[in-house]
């Protein structure tokens, strides 16, 4: 009896039921290519860039990197009693999810504030004389995993914009000077041009 009622309700639903339509407004993809200048570790200028892609209205993911092509000067090694003064961030690649603070967008000039935690692979130079690998290579460069946090302000009109950001990288590195691991926090500031497609 139960099977017959179930079969009857299924047939009635197929014959007399209205079609169900689930709709939502489509979300346009927003991919942003960014390229600009970065002040890394308050010491060296370099180039930074990447691709930021929107996942939802408030979440995006930025994948990119930075490089400091200008070599460190010969007199960069400080006279110091602290091992952290001999370490300089040089290059890095990162992945940074972003959380956009929702707000109403003006029509003339759009702006966004985004909080970005993330992780990175940093390439740091330890300029202490004990870390020289050979006479031809002045400073040892060490690959180090890192966490970071920061934020950015994006100003955009149509498809072109300007992105200003600041980050603090947290990483651990071994120091030959102190013969121990050090936990370091280093800043990075950047200004980049953005093209959205």
Sign of the torsion formed by the C-alpha atoms of 129, 131, 134 and 138:
negative
* CA gyration radius, the chain: 26
Rounded to an integer, the average pLDDT of 2-13 is 75
pLDDT above 60 (res 4): yes
Q: How far, in Å, CA of 119 to CA of 131, rounded?
A: 26
12 — alpha (psi -120 to 50), left (phi > 0) or beta?
alpha
Single pTM value for the model: 0.80
Q: pLDDT (tens digit, 9 = 90+) per residue, 37-73?
A: 999 988 889 999 999 999 888 999 999 999 999 887 7
- Range with the lowest mean pLDDT among 65-69, 74-78, 116-120? 74-78
Strands 140-157 and 59-67: unpaired
DSSP 176: T
* pLDDT band at residue 132 under the 50/70/90 scheme: low
pLDDT of residue 22: 58
Q: How far, in Å, CA of 87 to CA of 102, rounded?
A: 38
Q: pLDDT (tens digit, 9 = 90+) per residue, 135-181?
A: 555 566 778 999 999 999 999 998 999 999 999 999 998 887 777 88
Q: How far, in Å, CA of 197 to CA of 194, rounded?
A: 10
């Amino acid at each position: 009896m139960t099977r017959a009622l179930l079969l009857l309700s299924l047939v009635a639903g197929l014959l007399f039921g209205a079609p169900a339509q689930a709709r939502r407004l489509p979300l346009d993809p927003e991919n942003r290519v960014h390229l600009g200048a970065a002040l890394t570790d308050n010491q060296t200028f370099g180039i930074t860039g990447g691709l930021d892609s929107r996942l939802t209205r408030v979440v995006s993911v930025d994948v990119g990197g930075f490089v400091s092509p200008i070599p460190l000067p010969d007199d960069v090694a400080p006279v110091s009693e602290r091992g952290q003064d001999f370490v300089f961030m040089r290059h890095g690649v990162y992945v940074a999810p972003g959380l956009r603070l929702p707000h109403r967008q003006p029509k003339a000039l759009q702006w966004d504030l985004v909080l970005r935690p993330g992780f990175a692979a940093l390439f740091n130079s330890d300029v202490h004389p004990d870390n020289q690998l050979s006479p031809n290579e002045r400073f040892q460069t060490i690959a180090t995993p890192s966490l970071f946090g920061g934020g950015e302000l994006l100003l955009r009109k149509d498809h072109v914009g300007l992105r200003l950001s600041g980050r603090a990288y947290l990483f651990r590195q071994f120091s030959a000077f102190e013969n121990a691991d050090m936990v370091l926090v280093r800043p990075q500031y950047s200004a980049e041009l953005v093209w959205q497609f």
